[in-house]
Amino acid sequence: MHTKVKQLIAGSIRTVGEEKTVELHPEIKEFVEENNLVEDGIKIVEKSTNNRFGGAYIERSDKETEEFLGEENSSFLNQPISYFKTHKNEFMYMEDPSFDLVSVDAVSFEVDDVFGTYNVMLGLKLQKKYGEAIKSFFASEMKAEDSRVDLMFDGNEGIWNINFALNNVEAFNEEMTIQTAYDLIYRFLFKLVVSVL
């Protein structure tokens, strides 16, 4: 994780006159400060998360057939997550360059037909040996007693297929927008990767 964050910093330093600054999202800024990853003389500025996924690739598909229903721009993220309660047949798939830092290519989101929970599905690019640490993280971080998490290692792809209910993550609420939900997912995954590696 340290290496990836250092690469992110190296590519994000801006120089204005004599001052060097780097803009980082809150969880990354906190990690950098705790681990002293910025050289002296570089000022760290907290970056707003409002536009974290501004350049994301977003598509909606049918849950049963996986038929493509449409590509969306980032304004789609401003809708409340309840969109998926009224469109239960749909799931959303999103790719974003920022996911690379948390060892993920894309994150899918839908409402579970049986339990009515907001489900998150992704492939986590971590080795099989991290299985116990990943399970332990979910056990300690999920707030509900019945917080089901599906974890399965795919040896061919070299990834952990993970499916969990966002409802069981601290700070979740039914009123949030899709943008806020994805931001919560991102912060959760960041915490996961930091705790495991």
Full domain range(s) for residue 40? 2-46
Number of domains the chain contains: 2
Q: Is the pLDDT assigned to residue 17 strictly greater than 90?
A: no
9 and 68 fall within a common domain: no
Q: What integer pLDDT is reported at residue 186 of this predicted model?
A: 98
Tokens standing for residue 97: 């360059």
Q: Kindly report the pTM of this predicted structure.
A: 0.94
24 and 116 fall within a common domain: no
Q: What is d(CA 52, CA 145) in angstroms, rounded to the nearest whole number?
A: 31
H/E segment holding residue 194: helix 178-196
CATH number at residue 153: 3.30.1460
- 148 band by pLDDT with thresholds 50, 70 and 90: confident
Q: Which residues pair with 19 in a beta bridge?
A: 16
Q: What integer pLDDT is reported at residue 147 of this predicted model?
A: 76
Give residue-wise pLDDT tens across range 75-123. 999 999 999 999 999 999 999 999 999 999 999 999 999 999 999 999 9
CA-CA distances (angstroms) from residue 65 to 91, 93, 117, 135, 173? 11, 14, 21, 31, 29
Q: For residue 147, tell me if it sits in a domain.
A: yes
122 and 152 fall within a common domain: yes
Tokens standing for residue 174: 């039914």
Q: Is the pLDDT assigned to residue 129 strictly greater than 90?
A: yes
168 and 84 fall within a common domain: yes
172 and 126 fall within a common domain: yes
Give residue-wise pLDDT tens across range 32-86. 999 999 988 899 999 999 889 999 999 999 999 999 999 999 999 999 999 999 9
94 and 31 fall within a common domain: no
Q: What integer pLDDT is reported at residue 74 of this predicted model?
A: 93
Mean pLDDT of 21-42: 94
62 and 27 fall within a common domain: no
Identify which of 41, 38, 47 has the alpha carbon closest to the alpha carbon of residue 19.
41
- 143 band by pLDDT with thresholds 50, 70 and 90: confident
Q: For residue 52, tell me if it sits in a domain.
A: no
96 and 180 fall within a common domain: yes
Q: What is d(CA 118, CA 84) in angstroms, rounded to the nearest whole number?
A: 8
Q: For residue 51, tell me if it sits in a domain.
A: no
